[in-house]
Amino acid sequence: MAMSRKEEARALSADEHGLVEKSHHPAVQGLADAELAGLVKLLRERRDKAQSEAHRRRREIRGKGAPKGAVASKADGGSQLKLQVLAMAMRRLNGEAERRRQLAARISLVENARKALTMKQGAAANGPDFNTRSAHKGMRPVANQKAPALARPAERGRQRQAAKVAQAKRDAR
């Protein structure tokens, strides 16, 4: 759920509030990548600590865990609120880091595409590369290598039939 900055300030200590303030929109975009990574690390540690504290308090309230102090906790609303604020700040920082990662990926993709285009244009200017697995001339009709027959097909058929008749006469004797 959305939370005002006033409620966030009430739930956090002064140094935690300073970290969470850096995670809000105008300030987070002004951070360098190294600063953003450091802020993510610090905020993750704080969030994990608040998470374990909230978990411990819930166990105390249910009567499953030993109390940390002299008396068991009666409510854990403050620790839950602090955990929510830190988790939302982590979500904002992770979103910004992902946005920057995608931007860098898009820029890299464009650079690689331009480089490939210049390489392709340079290869076309230099002539074909004959050490590739692609067809160079493409599909072209191949000329028939047989010598053309000089006799007419009808004449050949007449001679074959005459040979058959002559052979039959010889076999009949």
For 67-126, what is each residue's pLDDT tens digit?
776 666 677 778 888 999 999 999 999 999 999 999 999 999 999 999 999 988 887 777
In this predicted model, which residue has the larger pLDDT, 152 or 63? Answer: 152
Instruction: Evaluate if residue 128 carries a pLDDT over 90.
Output: no
Instruction: Evaluate if residue 127 carries a pLDDT over 70.
Output: no
Q: How far apart are CA 86 and CA 168, in angstroms?
A: 108
- Using pLDDT thresholds of 50, 70 and 90, give the confidence band for residue 141: confident
Per the structure block, which two tokens stand in for 69?
Answer: 């102090």
What pLDDT, on a 0 to 100 scale, did the predictor assign at position 76? 76
pTM of the model: 0.61
Q: What is the mean pLDDT of the chain?
A: 87
Q: Which amino acid is at 25?
A: H
Q: How far apart are CA 95 and CA 12, in angstroms?
A: 22
